[in-house]
Amino acid sequence: MDPSFHHSAGKPVVTSLLALALLVSGCTEVEGPLPLRPDGSRAASEARVSRLDGEVRAPKGNKILTLKASSNLGVPVESVPEEEGFTRAVIEPDSEGAAVLWEAGDSIKVQFLKDEVLYYAVLRTEEGGSSEAVFTTDDDILGGTEYTWFSPGYERKHDNSPYTRHRVFGLSLPQSQTAVADGISSGMSLAFASTDSFEDGMSVSFTNLPALLRFRLSGGIAGSVKSVTLKTTSGIAGMEVWYNASGYPSYDQGYFSNTVWFTSVTLNGDFEAGKEYHIALWPRELNGFEMEFSDGEGNFTTLRTQEKITLGRSVVTDIGTINLGDSFRGLGSISTAPVKYMSATEGTKPVSVAIIPDGFTLGELPLYESLAKMAYDFLFDTEPYKTYKNRFNAWILKVASNESGAGITDGNYNVITPVDNYFSSQWGESSYSDMKSDDKKVFNFVSSNCEDITKGIHPIDEVPVIIIVNDNRYGGVAWTWPAGSGYCIIPWAYSGRMTGWSYPSIVPLSESDPKGGYRDRTSEEKWLYGKSNGDWRNTVVHEFGHIFGRLADEYWKSPPSTASVSTINSRHNYAVPSGLNISASYSTTPWDEFIQRRDELMGIDERYSRIGKYQGGGTHIFGAWRSERVSGMMDNRQYFNAWSRYLIAQRIMKLSGDESQFNFDYWLSHDVTADPLRDSEGDNASTRSGDPDRSGRYYYIFPHDPEEYLPPDAPVQYVDDEPAPPGI
């Protein structure tokens, strides 16, 4: 019964990789114009409209539109009034900022409503070199309402889609951009406008969508630089734009379509010292970034900062002059020393957790460190970890692999494409059912490098380990031992791109009878609980629920199956009990006290009404019961049900040496009930940081039922009687 294998799945102060400094002479937000549109040659994937039954080509009518660039100043992201901003394809910097010019051949797409039908038209201009231009179309665009204008315009019909009041445009910032000394390359322009109505010959002032990062180079090698690559852990290029009832456009990570998004952008060209260069990026708050400067012949210098920087829509953010010195330095000596990211300030002793990398080369360790911090930020922004975070020491341990990525197996633990990574992380190409790492090496490395273990504060059995793997495939698996040790493997799937998880597609007919049969999930049931959308960090929360909270999965799969009573009960009897969030009995459950006190709890917070007995869990639809209909152990949402929150809090208090303080009333006085996906109001609502790159994204959209991506299921496996690894 050893182990259990589960699955789910401002102003920056710039620091260096080593002694190298990314010197900044000043970082200010320059109120000025921006780049505008993406390469017209890049045909983004077909966007989908979200109003009514899809858009229809407007009838002929030969109308004109006079469009001009605004002279208003840029303001930070998400606070640009509709009438402010800048437009167009060419930007000519001058002493006061820049002139924003249209180019001959520019196009605009407009969508509008008329008689509850969504129409579109494409307008073009033959004028260029001015901030004003006349655009014409043969289509009749008069007499409508809710006009949305986007540039560039694509003459393609959107797919039908029932997304309420969302209009999606296939606009994408290119990942490869051209360096222009003291200017901005053509083709970086994306702009939008909205008007309530339209009259022939009217003027419309557009707003720029991207942000600009401005910098200069100095040092003897500045003139040898041929490319500058900005590397982040956030989506800064690609993606798509959608416009909704809020009146502002948003930048989406491929939720509405398969638009690719990128976490790095490269500026190519011949660079000169002292000249100003710009990189067009989507508005974003970056939690640190790297810049790599290369001469194109294999010589490079990489500099980085861990400080936050805000890229505002229609704002130029200047990071000043970067001194590269007189020679390319390569990576230098990147530190592999452990990083103590969080330090306990409460408790008799700290609760310890460690993150380690696999498949990150020496040059990729700064990326890993940023990802590890993102994982911790997200995890400790999730209750109950958020409430008890001051009891934790969070360690980032570092070791380099010889090769990037993870090995590929045949799906049955046999490696078919080896990768020389440090911990031998590997799994199947189309399934992660055999995902594993070298557990002996994992535990020995953590035991030797985690200070809380070497100082005797905790044994390895009490230090959960998260392995972040530098691989784009989706996956997530946890291995746990009865004595309490465990590790989970989470790849940085899709380079951080969004994915989604949904309520199971079949449900039992009876909550109490394991032989009562099943039926298909209804659309209402699916959307009652919201669709959980997020990224690899949601998988971290779920898998950490296994290895730390000792929680079992709460979802089930097709075809229907019945849980083993003896298996569930045996795990409850582990030295460190496991799976107590699942019961093998309907009449008697581990959370009976919660059932008995349900009315009392509801008097404190109505959300405790979610507590009950619901059949389905542990990957089986029959013979297993859970305490709430939906939780993070079902669909990776940033929420644990009340009973699971109790179990996690109990383990935190035990490991911090304060178990004697813990009881039901103590837990209740510290409990936070809100589900960020379903609950948005009230005194007990979840408070997240607000930065989507730190706190994740959730959508609660109904009643539509779009085609969705669901990660592949992997069968749960159990490895019996495997001895604990030596040295533990």
- pLDDT confidence of 604, banded at 50, 70, 90? very high
Residue 467 has pLDDT above 70, yes or no: yes
- What is the SS3 assignment for 569? helix
Q: Please answer whether residues 280 and 258 qualify as being in contact, where contact means their C-beta atoms are separated by less than 8 angstroms.
A: no
Mark whether 311 and 385 lie in a shared domain.
no
What local confidence, expressed as pLDDT, does residue 537 receive? 94
Number of domain units in the chain? 2
In a domain, 14, yes or no: no
pLDDT for the residue 156: 47
Last residue of a domain, one of 266, 289, 323: 323
Question: The tokens of 480 are what?
Answer: 């746990």
Give the chain's largest Cα–Cα span.
Answer: 81
Q: How far is CA 429 from CA 134, 275, 406, 637, 717, in A?
A: 53, 47, 10, 26, 18
Q: Measure the CA–CA gap between 469 and 489, rounded to whole angstroms.
A: 7
Residue 678's pLDDT is what? 87
Residue recorded with tokens 């570092």: 398
8 A C-beta contact, residue 339 and residue 449: no
Q: What is the pLDDT of residue 600?
A: 95
Whether 310 shows a pLDDT value over 60: the answer reads yes
Query: Which of 131-135, 165-169, 684-688 holds the top average pLDDT?
Result: 131-135
Q: What pLDDT score was predicted for residue 41?
A: 23
Q: Is 616 left (phi over 0), alpha (psi -120 to 50) or beta?
A: left
* Position 8 in a domain: no
Q: Output the domain CATH number for residue 462.
A: 3.40.390.10
Provide, rounded to the nearest whole percent, the portion of the chain with pLDDT above 70: 73
The mean pLDDT of 98-127, rounded to a whole number, is: 79
User: Range with the lowest mean pLDDT among 199-208, 237-246, 270-279, 594-603?
Assistant: 237-246
Tokens standing for residue 619: 């990957």
Q: Do 380 and 309 share a structural domain?
A: no
Which of 534, 649, 516, 646 lies closest to 592, judged by CA?
Answer: 646
Q: Do 241 and 268 form a contact (C-beta atoms < 8 A)?
A: no
* Token pair in block for residue 423: 């911990």
Cis amide leading into 338 (omega within 30): no
Average pLDDT over residues 56-75: 46
> What is the pLDDT at residue 353?
98
Q: Which residues touch 349 (CB under 8 Å, ≥6 apart)?
A: 457, 458, 655, 656, 657
**What are the beta bridge partners of residue 189?**
37
Domain of 457 in residue numbering reads as 339-718
Give the span between the Cα atoms of 467 and 536, in whole angstroms: 12
Q: Are residues 97 and 144 in the same domain?
A: yes
Residue 405 confidence (pLDDT) above 50: yes
Q: What is the mean pLDDT of the chain?
A: 77
Give strand pairing partners of 284: 311
**Which residue from 81, 87, 89 is spatially nearest to 105, judged by alpha carbons?**
89
Tell me what pLDDT residue 250 has.
66
Mean pLDDT of 258-269: 80
pLDDT-based confidence at residue 142 (cuts at 50, 70, 90): confident
Q: Which of 485, 461, 471 is nearest to 358 (CA)?
A: 471
Residue-level pLDDT at 75: 27
Q: Give the pLDDT confidence of 665-710 residue by residue, as tens digits.
A: 999 999 999 999 888 643 333 332 222 332 222 222 222 222 233 3
394 closest CA partner among 407, 408, 381, 403: 381
Residues 289 and 349 in one domain: no
Which residue reads 């390319």 in tokens? 328
Give a yes or no: residue 184 inside a domain. yes
Q: Which two tokens stand for residue 169?
A: 């445009």
- pLDDT of the residue at 141: 87
Name the nearest CA neighbour of 92 among 81, 103, 84, 83.
103
**Above 70 in pLDDT, residue 33?**
no
Q: Are residues 647 and 591 in the same domain?
A: yes
Residues 6+ apart with CB under 8 A from 505: 520, 521, 558
The tokens for 426 are: 């590997």
Domain boundary residue among 290, 323, 356?
Answer: 323
Q: What are phi and psi of 373, to 5 degrees?
A: -65, -40
Per-residue model confidence (pLDDT) at position 146: 84
Assess whether 284 and 136 both reside in one domain.
Answer: yes
| pLDDT(117) > 70 | yes
Shared-domain flag, residues 285 and 408? no
- The answer as to whether 329 is a domain residue is no
Lowest mean pLDDT among 236-245, 446-455, 499-508: 236-245
Q: What is the pTM of this model?
A: 0.73
Looking at per-residue pLDDT, the higher value among 257 and 430 belongs to: 430
Note the pLDDT of residue 272: 96
- Asked if residue 331 is part of any domain, the answer here is no
| Angstrom distance (rounded) from CA 30 to CA 316 | 5
56: pLDDT confidence band, cut at 50, 70 and 90? Answer: low
Residues 85 and 178 in one domain: yes
End-to-end CA distance of the chain: 18
Which of 7-16, 124-133, 329-338, 377-386 has the weakest average pLDDT? Answer: 7-16
What is the rounded radius of gyration, in angstroms, for the C-alpha atoms of the chain? 27
The H or E element containing residue 345 is none
Pairing of strands 4-7, 477-480: antiparallel
pLDDT band at 651 (very low <50, low <70, confident <90, very high): very high
- Residues 169, 305 share a domain: yes
**What is the structure's pLDDT at 28?**
26
Do 605 and 457 share a structural domain? yes
323, 352, 380 - which closes a domain? 323
Omega before 482 within 30 of 0, i.e. cis: no
User: Does one domain contain both 583 and 700?
Assistant: yes
What tokens does 202 get? 């009217």
